Amino acid sequence: VAAITRVRNPILLARAVMERTPHILMVGAGAERLARRAGISMCRPADLITQRARDRWRAALDRRAQEKSSLEDDHGPGGFGTVGAAALDVHGALAAATSTGGVGGKMPGRVGDSAIIGAGTFADSPGAASATGQGEAIMKTTLCREAVLAMRRGDPREVAERVIQELGTITGGQAGVILVDRAGRLGYAHNAEVMDIASFDPTDGFTYRWASPLKPASKSLARNG
Ligand code: ASP
């Protein structure tokens, strides 16, 4: 779902789209109507803005006023607030979910990658994937679908590193991805400053994980468009 401002937990609504409609992506008023019909709790738009997001927005406005910087300059590390999950259950079912408020400084009407199946979120028989980072770079490289298809043969750890390296080379952008394959093996990688990562399994509970940022590949093919 995209362009919704009154749904407290958008992933519940995304699930309702998957389970109750023949559609994949719903936006705006129609999506919010479905939320009401599905009994999903609604809120005021202001309830979805955290103090941290408000502070960042003010800081970005100040920066822009002082430096006359462009929108793109606010898309740096720290401007992201995505939460994503990739999961395998005891029956072997794979699923992915990603929720975001988008990037700082975006234009009204901009849709990022998180809701775009194949870009910011994807699951199929080889595995599940969820991404964070610069949505434009993630969409250009359909990052999560690339990663899931690559898990047909590749180890999730290597796949995660490869797709992030490729995204950096092709777009010059920053992103991170978390993966689980159908055997329950995990993969994660990013080329931003930091990415918070945790895993959960019934035996070990939560494990917090660390991945150092990947360095750009030596031969740069960065391009725009
Ligand atoms: N990927 C998100 C977007 O581009 C931002 C994020 O990861 O926080 O909208």
**Which string of b and e fits 14-52 if b means at least 16 CB within 10 Å?**
bbbbeeeeeeeebeeeebbebbeeeebeeeeeeeeeeee
Q: Among 21-30, 82-91, 103-112, 119-128, which stretch is predicted with the lowest mean pLDDT?
A: 103-112
What pLDDT is recorded for position 52? 86
What pLDDT is recorded for position 78? 45
Å from CA of 157 to ligand 1 middle: 22
What pLDDT is recorded for position 81? 75
| Of 57, 75, 134, best ligand 1 pocket probe by most atoms within 8 Å of the beta carbon | 134
Enclosing H/E stretch for 86 = strand 83-88
Å from CA of 203 to ligand 1 middle: 32
Q: Does any ligand 1 atom lie closer than 6 A to the CB of residue 100?
A: yes
More confident residue, 40 or 58: 40
Note the pLDDT tens digit of each residue in 30-46.
999 999 999 999 999 99
| Res. 80 pLDDT band, cuts 50 70 90 | low
Q: Answer positive or negative: Cα dihedral of 109, 114, 120, 122.
A: negative
Given a cut of 80, is residue 223 above it in pLDDT?
Answer: no
Q: Does any ligand 1 atom lie closer than 6 A to the CB of residue 102?
A: yes
- DSSP states along 185-205: -EEEEESSS---EEEEETTTE
Q: Report the chain's mean pLDDT, rounded to a whole number.
A: 91
Catalytic residue, chosen from 50, 82, 98, 142, is 82
Given a cut of 80, is residue 70 above it in pLDDT?
Answer: no
More confident residue, 209 or 74: 209
